[in-house]
Structure 1
Amino acid sequence: MISFCRALKLCEPRKLISIIMIIIGYSGHAFVACSILQTAGNNLSAYCDNEEKQYNPFKLKYLGTESSPSAIAALSEMPAFIGIGNNLIRRKVHEALLSKAVQIADAIHPSSIICPTAALFSGNIMVGAGAIIQPLATIEEGVICNSGVIIEHECKVESFAHIGPGAILCGNVRVGANSFIGAGAVVRQGVVIGKNCMIGAGSVVVRDVPDNATVMGVPAR
């Protein structure tokens, strides 16, 4: 795997790295990923999806599914980013690509702020425009930190979780693998959210959430 994510000093300008790559999935969430990758100086050559899309805003070549012969040939020569919002599907595709020794990139918007002491695991991490990741936070592989997210000190976001636009994780919050935090949600300091959870948009989470639970509201229940 290769990482385009580097721990930078707060507010330090990003050094753009030009890489040619392939996007896996090609609809709403993938369009955001494409924009991030291009803004960061990368070049997108093609996309993989279950079918060719009539709407092709980034003018990319269609390769078929990621398991098609043309895609396999291309993926042996250039890295991919998985632009799939669904956590479980993103994880499944990630594992399949790794089994074929495909290099998996990260998508880090240049306007995001990442503290030097934050730890980001390489491998399909997305950090959107204006996102802030504070000291000693840990972001595992496959995590989506959408536009304007704030992840405060010492938080841990486990693999393939999805933090929606504008959500705020206060200090020492833990988000379990595959969980989804809706747009604009706020999670109180020290709260533990289990694996495979769903937190509704705009919710305020003030107590721990067990595995596989769905909560919403103010306070979330």
Structure 2
Amino acid sequence: MAIRKISQMTEADHVLVTAAVADAERHTSGEIVTIVTDLSDHYEDIAMAWASAVAFIALATYATFPDFYIGLINGLSGGWGHEYTTGEYVALLLTAVALKWIGTWFILKWMPLRLALTPKSTKLARVRNRAISLFKVGTEAKTVGRTGVLLYLSMKEHRAEIVTDEAIASKVAPEVWGDAMVALLDQVKAGNPGTGVAAAVRQMGVVLAEHFPKGSENPNEIPDRLIEI
């Protein structure tokens, strides 16, 4: 699935987040990966579902009040009445329903509206699935001690996720990351996503340092840079 790269993150944001990751990892054997994306899913199935719902309602309305709509058609044609055959009426009905479906589909190509009509639970699930997918590709089992952790921010859904490797998940409950998520989302809402990611990384570093302190031999196994996709 192709996702358009965002423009909210500046070069200064990249520098800020990279420095925050490097600083956090100085005190822990954990490896922090940060990924920011514009959108986790295009929700085309949601647009299709709404278009189909509108078309079905239109079909039911046309079938319930045929005389009213036939009168409208005759009025548009200059008031000349026409006795429609069953085939002609079915053709008119299907054409009108198809136009409703296509019209709704095109309206919902405007992503803000599509997102507004997408259930919150669906957005949460899609963002989570995207985060897990990216974690499996770029973070999971990429460290000797299985101590990788992904901070994932999806801008348009206003959602973030923290996904951890096996060793971290066994010691750190998901709710422990609450301070990091609050620090992130507060700054994102204020229009400072880079500052938010850096703040979250610092909070994550505190947690990781407590449970996975820096060892005598601990190479930097994953690059510290902020990733935009």
TM-score by length of 1: 0.21
Q: Considering only CA atoms, is the larger Rg found in Structure 1 or Structure 2?
A: 2
More strand by proportion, 1 or 2? 1
More helix by share: 2
Larger RCO, structure (CA 8 Å, separation 6 or more): 2
